[in-house]
Amino acid sequence: MFTGIIEALGRVEAIVHDRENVHFTLSSAISSELKVDQSVSHNGVCLTVVALSNGTHTVTAIHETLLKTNLGSWEVGQVVNLERCMPAQGRFDGHIVQGHVDQTAICTSVVEEHGSWRYRFAFDASKGNVVVEKGSICVNGVSLTVVDAAADAFSVAIIPYTFEHTNFHALAEGAVVNLEFDILGKYIQRILQQQGAWNSTH
Q: Are residues 136 and 70 in the same domain?
A: no
Q: Are residues 117 and 75 in the same domain?
A: no
Q: Are residues 73 and 111 in the same domain?
A: no
Q: How confident is the model at residue 199 (pLDDT cuts 50, 70, 90)?
A: low
> Which uninterrupted H or E stretch holds 200?
helix 183-200
How much of the chain exceeds pLDDT 70, in percent? Answer: 97
40 in a structural domain = yes
Does the pLDDT value for residue 196 go beyond 90? no
Does the pLDDT value for residue 193 go beyond 80? no
94 in a structural domain = no
Domain containing residue 118: CATH number: 2.40.30.20
**Candidate from 10-14, 135-139, 186-190 with smallest mean pLDDT:** 186-190
3-state secondary structure of 169: helix
57 in a structural domain = yes
**Identity of the highest mean pLDDT range in 41-55, 75-89, 124-138:** 41-55
Categorise residue 114: left if φ over 0, alpha if ψ from -120 to 50, beta otherwise.
left
What average pLDDT is seen over the chain?
Answer: 93
2 in a structural domain = no
What residues make up the domain containing 167? 103-192
Q: Are residues 175 and 115 in the same domain?
A: yes
Per residue in 21-57, pLDDT (tens digit) is 999 999 999 999 999 999 999 999 999 999 999 999 9
201 in a structural domain = no
Q: Are residues 143 and 174 in the same domain?
A: yes
Q: Are residues 77 and 113 in the same domain?
A: no
Q: Are residues 113 and 41 in the same domain?
A: no
What does the pLDDT read at residue 198?
A: 56
Identify which of 91, 80, 94 has the alpha carbon closest to the alpha carbon of residue 143.
94
Q: Are residues 80 and 109 in the same domain?
A: no
199 in a structural domain = no
Does the pLDDT value for residue 90 go beyond 80? no
111 in a structural domain = yes
Q: Are residues 109 and 177 in the same domain?
A: yes
Categorise residue 37: left if φ over 0, alpha if ψ from -120 to 50, beta otherwise.
left
Count of the separate structural domains present in the chain: 2
Q: Are residues 129 and 52 in the same domain?
A: no
Q: Are residues 79 and 159 in the same domain?
A: no
65/22 Cα distance (integer angstroms): 10
98 in a structural domain = no
The pTM of this model reads 0.91
Q: Are residues 68 and 111 in the same domain?
A: no
3-state secondary structure of 104: strand
